[in-house]
Each structure stands twice: as structure tokens, then as C-alpha cells.
Amino acid sequence: MPELPEVEVSRQGIEPFLTGQTIQNIIIRTPKLRWLVPEDILQTKGEVIRSVTRRAKYIFINTTSGSIILHLGMTGFLRVFAHTTPLKKHDHLDIILGNGQCLRFNDARKFGACLWQPADAQPHVLLSNLGPEPLTDDFVDTHLHTRAQGRTCTVKQFIMDNANVVGVGNIYANEALFMSGIHPKRKAGNISLKRYKLLTQNIKIVLAAAIEQGGTTLKDFSNVDGNPGYFRLHLNVYGRAGEPCWNCNTEITSFMLGQRNTFYCKQCQT
């Protein structure tokens, strides 16, 4: 599933092709993805795309009347090319631009989404209870410690909860916890402020590095240009069960936590 870095790479990839362009037409080939595709998005025809932004794992195509919100789901991806490009299986949506190009959304499993956010309206219900963006100043180094007080869930599940901080998916939670020397099963409420400050710093570092490397391609994700993300070459623990830890040579261990694969080093993480 694309996580925050992969979504941000996709946003960065499409932004220069969309910003300033007029939406000439929108073709909805599949009326229902994860949810029904709202026909309200059609009112953007004739409008100029003012910006392309992101909140959590949602991409916003912003116009005067509102924002088309795209979510990639588990297997979705975006491409920009001539609108006459032959269709492929699972091409569900085209946003055709005035210059003859189009943004095409493909999603084999149809777990992605296209939503609508009117201008000057309250945030969409799916966005109303999200925590801070991890790569902004809103994610201060005391935030996690404050939120964690009294919490008995594991620290890994805690940082993957979008109500606490958005976008720390499974891959990057594993990596940030390793970098911080924190065992993923530690209770969130039993971790010191000092260690949470370190974890906050490492969440920022690992996400920024993943974006710089074009994301992490494990199965389905590729960039807008079709190229894979290369951060997988820099993974310390994720997907490395049975291999030696880069730091201490101890065998990386894996187990299931909250129905997600979890990887850690018994020696380095306590």
C-alpha cells in the first residue's frame, strides 16, 4: 500500500503538469471505487488548477470551486500523458487538460477513491480527525509524549494511528523505531519524553529520506514516470527477517502485530 512518501512523490510528480492548466473535461469510467465518485467534481470543468497539495495520504487538485481529492488505496497510481493514449485495464478516471494532456487514475483493486471538497467548506469527514503532518513544524518533539500519556497500546500501533500523526505507515514505523532503539511492543505510555523526542526526529528523517529516494517499491508502487522507488535499498529492518542487523549482526526478527508484519532487532531495540 502506498504510504505517505509514495503519495508525496506522486503529488510532486503530477504537480508541474497540472498547476496552471485548465480542466477541459473529466471522464468517469468507473462510477464506484471505494466509494461512489461524486458528480460534483464535474463542476471544475473550465476552471484552472490553482495548486496540487497533500494531506496525509490524500492528494488535492485545487480549483476555485473546490478540490478533487484522490486516494491511491492499495494499488492505485497516477500518470500524466496525452489524453489520446490508449486505455489500459483498470483506467477509471481521466482529468483532461486544456493542453491536450490528461491525468489518468488506474487502480486494479478499486480500493482507491475520488472525493469532492467544496471551497470554504468544513474539511471532508475523512480528514476531520487527522493528527499533524510529520514533516511540518506542527509535529513538535513533545507531541507524541503528550498524546501517549495513559495509553496502553504498543508504540508501533500508536505512531501508526493517524489521529496521533499522519502518514507513519508500517514500513516507516518499523524503520523509525529501529533508528530510535525502541522495541515495537513497548507500551506507548511507558516511553520517556527523551525517547519520544528521538523517535519524532527519526520519523521526520526516515520519511524525508524515502521521499528523496522516490518512495519504497515493494510490490505495486511506482512513480508517476513509471520508475520504482529506491528507498527499499536503504531499509534497515523491514522485510529483512533472518538477515543480520547492520549495526550488531544479530538476526532480524519478525512477528505479527495488529495484523501487520513487524521487524526489529532484539539487540538494538529495547
pLDDT digit string (tens) for 100-151?
A: 999 999 999 999 999 999 998 888 999 989 999 999 999 999 999 999 999 9
At 41, the amino acid letter reads I
Q: Can you tell me the distance from the alpha carbon of 107 to that of 21, in angstroms, rounded to the nearest whole number?
A: 24
Provide the CATH number for the domain formed by 4-127 in this structure: 3.20.190.10
- Model confidence at 218, in pLDDT bands (50, 70, 90)? very low
Q: For residue 233, is pLDDT > 80?
A: no
Portions of the chain given CATH number 1.10.8.50: 143-264
Instruction: Name the percent of the chain lying above pLDDT 90.
Output: 84
- Catalytic residue positions, numbered: 2-3, 57, 260
The predicted pLDDT at position 229 comes to: 41
Portions of the chain given CATH number 3.20.190.10: 4-127
Contact 210, 228 (CB under 8 A): no
Q: Is 151 annotated as belonging to a binding site? A: yes
Q: Can you tell me the distance from the alpha carbon of 192 to that of 173, in angstroms, rounded to the nearest whole number?
A: 18
Mean pLDDT of 5-29: 95
Provide the CATH number for the domain formed by 143-264 in this structure: 1.10.8.50
Q: Is 71 annotated as belonging to a binding site? A: no
The predicted pLDDT at position 6 comes to: 87
Q: For residue 224, is pLDDT > 90?
A: no
Mean pLDDT of 9-17: 93
In what side-by-side order are the strands of the sheet with 23-28?
Answer: 23-28, 91-97, 101-107, 76-82
Q: Is 90 annotated as belonging to a binding site? A: yes
Mean of per-residue pLDDT scores for the chain:
92
Mean pLDDT of 218-247: 67
Report the b/e string of 192-230 with b at 16+ CB within 10 A.
eeebbbbbbebbbebbeebbebbbbbbebbbbbeeeebe
Q: Can you tell me the distance from the alpha carbon of 26 to that of 164, in angstroms, rounded to the nearest whole number?
A: 35
Q: For residue 220, is pLDDT > 90?
A: no
What is the pTM assigned to this prediction?
A: 0.88
Mean pLDDT of 250-270: 96
Q: For residue 96, is pLDDT > 80?
A: yes
CB count within 10 Å of CB 85 equals: 14
Angle (nearest 5°) at CA 10 between 177 and 227: 90
First to last CA, the chain: 28
Q: Quick one: cell of 120?
A: 470554504
CB count within 10 Å of CB 35 equals: 12
